[in-house]
Amino acid sequence: MASVAKGFHYGEYLGLAARRRGADIERMSPRARKAYLNRQLRLVEAQIGFVIDRLTDDVEDSEPDWSTRTLEGDRWSSLFSLGYLVAERDALVEAIDHL
């Protein structure tokens, strides 16, 4: 979702989020900033894995017929969370690459 917003700067968002948690990412050395962002990336990837496991928990080995299967609210919520987490992961990767 973050990649869709026009004018969204993930670096500024990280700075604001870090200040709220007590870490000042703007004052970090480039090496410390890269380590911090890599840690955040690992956390996001772990969350993605958890959401995928939750989504595929009750899926059988055979191919499900998605056209007739309706998704309950919890699954929709998980799908939206997965989309957000993937966008967050992509933004982190891009921020790390620019350091």
Helices (DSSP H) in the chain: which residue ranges?
10-21, 30-55, 73-97
Does residue 23 have a pLDDT over 80?
no
33-89 confidence digits (pLDDT tens) = 888 899 999 999 999 999 988 888 766 655 655 554 556 777 778 888 899 999 999
pLDDT at site 32: 85
**Residue 3 is assigned to a structural domain of this protein:** no
Entry pTM: 0.63
- Is 47 domain-assigned? yes
- Angle of helix 30-55 relative to helix 73-97, nearest 10 degrees? 160
Please report the pLDDT score of residue 84 as a whole number: 92
Q: Please report whether residue 63 resides in a domain.
A: no
In the chain, the number of structural domains is 1
List the domain range (segments joined by +) for residue 36. 10-56+70-97
Does residue 5 fall inside a structural domain?
A: no
